[in-house]
């Protein structure tokens, strides 16, 4: 019954607020929670992408009014990610829950490290060299794979790329990342839907919450003390990663014992 699934709306909202504020998309919250409740990897990832897209729409709307999006760069990186999102959705069809949990746990730990250190990696604006352009193309393709395979949007790659590689300020990198996620998440949604992965009712509930969360998160990003947010989100993500590793190990031990 749909009533039994209404909890997905506040989950989407919470993920949308955090995802919008840090520019990583809400999947780093949604996917672990769905996985803990026994959702298969492809269902969790594909449902999460709907929330990531809805969150990106809401936060992009707010960030555009604040004039914090670099549209030209965002459009290029977003389009470059599309082939990767298609490949990521195809690869997710064959992954086992145990392997998915281990891989996603590693993604969460890298996300936590990035969030905690993000203020320390800001650099001055740099000139785009040929080497950096080639690296950006490869990174965008890889981000697309990560986005669609895990259902997280790819912001863990795009934000550091823009800040460290290109020299964009964090104030513009996070909003631009949300704009990029419009392309990455939408192309992933289309591919996953063709493959029959998502539950559209569940995805719709997550998306509804994430859209509002995106609007709220973009507004809160102007006022909240970022250090407190970094500590809170990093702690939550690391706990989720440890739980994923523990669950994967327990499943492996169970299989060996049986």
pLDDT above 90 covers what percent of the chain?
24
Q: Is the pLDDT of residue 42 over 60?
A: yes
| Residue 230 confidence (pLDDT) | 67
Least confident of 1-5, 14-18, 81-85: 1-5
Going from N- to C-terminal start, the domains of the chain cover 11-257
pLDDT in tens, 113-155: 766 676 565 555 556 567 777 888 888 898 889 889 988 877 7
Residue range 227-244, pLDDT digits in tens:
666 676 677 778 778 877
Asked if 19 and 159 touch (Cβ cutoff 8 Å), the reply is: no
Position 226 pLDDT exceeds 90: no
For residue 188, pLDDT beyond 80: yes
115-119, long-range: CB < 8 A, 24+ apart: 115/22, 115/24, 115/230, 115/233, 115/234, 115/237, 116/230, 116/231, 116/234, 118/22, 118/159, 118/163, 118/170, 118/230, 119/170, 119/226, 119/227, 119/230
Task: State the pLDDT at residue 251.
Answer: 66
Task: Assess whether pLDDT exceeds 80 at residue 75.
Answer: yes
Residue 83: pLDDT band by 50, 70, 90 thresholds? very high
CA angle 215, 216, 221 (to 5 degrees): 105
């Amino acid at each position: 019954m749909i009533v039994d699934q209404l909890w997905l709306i506040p989950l989407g909202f919470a993920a949308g607020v955090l995802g919008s504020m840090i520019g990583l998309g809400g999947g780093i919250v949604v996917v672990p929670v769905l996985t803990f409740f026994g959702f298969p990897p492809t269902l969790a990832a594909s449902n999460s992408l709907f929330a990531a897209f809805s969150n990106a729409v809401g936060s992009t709307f707010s960030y555009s009014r604040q004039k914090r999006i670099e549209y030209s760069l965002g459009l290029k990186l977003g389009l470059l990610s599309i082939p990767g999102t298609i490949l990521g959705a195809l690869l997710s069809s064959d992954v086992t829950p145990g392997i998915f949990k281990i891989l996603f746990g590693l993604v969460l730990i890298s996300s936590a490290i990035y969030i905690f250190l993000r203020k320390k990696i800001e650099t001055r604006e740099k000139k785009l060299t040929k080497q950096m352009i080639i690296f950006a193309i490869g990174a965008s393709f890889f981000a697309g794979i990560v986005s669609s395979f895990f259902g997280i949007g790819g912001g863990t790659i795009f934000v550091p790329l823009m800040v460290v590689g290109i020299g964009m300020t964090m104030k513009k990198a996070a909003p631009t990342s949300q704009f990029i996620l419009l392309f990455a998440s939408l192309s992933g949604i289309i591919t996953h839907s063709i493959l029959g992965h998502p539950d559209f009712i569940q995805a719709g509930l997550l998306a509804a919450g994430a859209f509002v969360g995106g609007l709220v998160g973009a507004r809160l990003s102007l006022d909240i003390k970022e250090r407190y947010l970094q500590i809170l989100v990093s702690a939550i993500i690391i706990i989720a990663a440890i739980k994923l590793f523990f669950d994967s190990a327990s499943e492996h031990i169970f299989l060996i014992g049986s």
